[in-house]
Amino acid sequence: MTTQMYICLGLFVFLIGGYVFAKKLHTTNGVVALCAIMLTAWSGLVPAKNVLANFANQNVLLITGMFIVAAGFNRTQAVNKLSSAVYRIAGGNFTVMMAGYMAVTFLLANLIPSPVAVFTIMAPMLSATCEEAGVSPSKAIFSMGLVAVGTCNVLPIGTGATTFATQNGYLESYGYTDYQMQLLDPFKGRILSAIIILAYAIFVAPKFAPAQPSVPITATSSKHTGANKQEPLDPTREFLGYFLFALTTLGLIFSSKLGLANWQVAMTGATLEVVTGVLKPKEATNAVPFMIVLMLIAALSVGGAMVECGLGDLIGAKLADALGGTHNSYVIGAAFFIIPFLLTQVMQNQSVGNIFVPIIILTCKALGANPVGPLILLSAASLTAFLTPSATATVPLMMGFGGYDQKDLLKMGWLPSLIICIASVAITMTLIPCF
C-alpha cells in the first residue's frame, strides 16, 4: 500500500468509526461527515475544487428538493382525513381496523422520510381506536411498528423517489458506474416483501402479541395527539399541496421522456411549494435533513479519494476473495442481508447502512457483479430492525405505546424477521441478479 492509501484508509476508518460512535462522543453523524469532508479537502488526495463540487452534486440537489416537496404534502390534512376514514369504515371490526391503519401507515412510510415520524403520527390514533373498541393497544402496536419501519421508502414516491439517486451517488463516489440503479428498481426489489409484511402485520402479528401489556404503557394514547397541529391550509393551498406532490412524482417517473434531469424536477417542485405558499420559507428550510445531505457529500468526497488512490479497488478485491469469487447471486445477496440484519439489532440502522454501502459496492466491483440488488437488500436488512430497542429509534416508542418488554420483542419479531430475510433475498436476487 502507498502512503496515499494509508491516509485514505485513515479517512475511511474515521468516517465509519465516527458514525458508529457519534452518540458516545456526544456529537452527530452530520458533524462527523463535515469533518470528513474538510479532512478530504486538506489531505490533498483530491483537489479542493472537486470536494466543493460535491455540494452541488445532482443527487444532493434531488434529495434536497424531494424532502421539501414531501414536507409540502405533509402540511396538508391528508393524515387526518385518512385516519378518520379508517375509523368510520372499520365499524368496530378489529381486522378491518388493522387493515385500514396498516394501509395508512404504509402510505405514510412512503411519503414521510422517517419511520419515527410516521409512528409518532399514527400510534396515538391506533391506541385510541383500540381503547374505543375494547382491545388492548398491545395487540396492535407491534404491527404498526413493523409496517412503519419495514416498508419505508418502497414506493417510488416522495423521498422514496430519491433512493435510486442516493445509491447512484454512492456508485459514482466509489468509481463503479458500469451499473446504475433506476427509479423503479427499489420498488421492484421490495414491493412483494412489503406486501408480505402488510399481510403479516394485519393477520398474523396480533396473534403473537400479548393480550395485555407486559409492562405499564408509558406513551400517551389520547386521540389524535399525533395529528398535524398546525393551522390548516386554505382550500387553494390544500389543493396545491396535493397537486405539486403528484406533479413532482410524475415528473420524476417520466423525466427521461420529458428530457429533464431529475434534480430539475425536484428543485422546481420545491421552489413552487414556497412560491405558492404551501410552505413558508422557514418550513421549507426545516424540511431539509442537512445531516443526511452532509453524509452523502462525505461519501462522495471520501469515495472519490478512495478511487483516486486505488484503495477502493484493493478493498473490493480482498472482500471478493473472501466470498470465494462466487457468481451465485443468492449467496452474495444472503451475505449482504444477514450480516447487516444482525448488526442492525445492536446498532442504529442508519449507521449499518453507511458502513455496508461502500463494502457492497467495492466487493461487487471486484467481482464484476451488478451491485443494485445487494444495495436494495442492504436497505431491506437495515429496516428489518425491531428485535431490540437499539435497532432503531422507533422501537423504544413502540415499547412505550404497546407496553412491551425485550422478551415480547423477540417473541413477536423472530418470525417476521425470518420471513423477510428469505423473501427479500429470493425475490430481489431473482428480479435483479448480480450476474
Alpha helices (H) along 45-140: 48-53, 58-74, 78-90, 94-109, 115-133
Question: Can you read off the three cell numbers belonging to residue 327?
Answer: 457468481
Contact between 237 and 137 (Cβ < 8 Å): no
Q: How many CB atoms lie within 10 A of CB 94?
A: 17
Number of folded domains that form the chain: 1
pLDDT at 80: 65
Contact between 334 and 323 (Cβ < 8 Å): no
Compute the distance between CA of residue 102 and CA of residue 297 in angstroms, rounded to an integer.
35
Contact between 187 and 152 (Cβ < 8 Å): no
Our measurement of the distance from residue 213's CA atom to the centroid of its chain's CA atoms, rounded to an integer in Å, reads 29
Closest CA to 361 of 166, 168, 165, 174: 174
Compute the distance between CA of residue 289 and CA of residue 312 in angstroms, rounded to an integer.
28
Question: Can you read off the three cell numbers belonging to residue 16?
Answer: 465509519
Compute the distance between CA of residue 414 and CA of residue 102 in angstroms, rounded to an integer.
20
Compute the distance between CA of residue 394 and CA of residue 409 in angstroms, rounded to an integer.
13
Q: How many CB atoms lie within 10 A of CB 294?
A: 22
Q: Which residue has the cell 442508519?
A: 350
Main-chain dihedrals φ then ψ at residue 143, nearest 5 degrees: -60, -40
Q: Which residue has the cell 423525466?
A: 255
Amino acid, res. 415: L
Compute the distance between CA of residue 44 and CA of residue 69 in angstroms, rounded to an integer.
37
| Side-chain half-sphere exposure of 404, counting CA atoms within 13 A | 31
Contact between 121 and 227 (Cβ < 8 Å): yes
pLDDT string in tens for the chain (435-residue length): 788 889 988 988 888 788 778 778 888 878 988 999 999 999 988 899 988 998 988 778 877 887 788 788 778 887 667 666 776 787 778 898 899 899 988 988 887 766 876 787 678 778 877 877 788 999 999 999 999 999 998 998 866 777 888 888 889 888 888 999 998 999 999 999 999 999 999 999 999 999 999 888 876 444 434 444 568 889 999 999 889 988 887 887 677 778 888 788 889 999 999 999 999 999 999 888 787 788 778 877 887 787 778 776 676 667 667 777 788 999 999 988 988 888 787 666 666 777 788 888 988 888 899 999 999 999 999 899 888 876 777 887 788 889 898 889 999 999 999 999 999 999 999 999 999
Compute the distance between CA of residue 224 and CA of residue 241 in angstroms, rounded to an integer.
22
| Side-chain half-sphere exposure of 337, counting CA atoms within 13 A | 25
Amino acid, res. 190: R
CA of 382: how far to CAs of 80, 280, 386, 391, in Å?
A: 30, 34, 10, 9
pTM, 2 dp? 0.69
Domain span holding position 145: 3-431
Alpha-carbon dihedral of residues 352, 356, 357, 358, nearest 10 degrees?
140
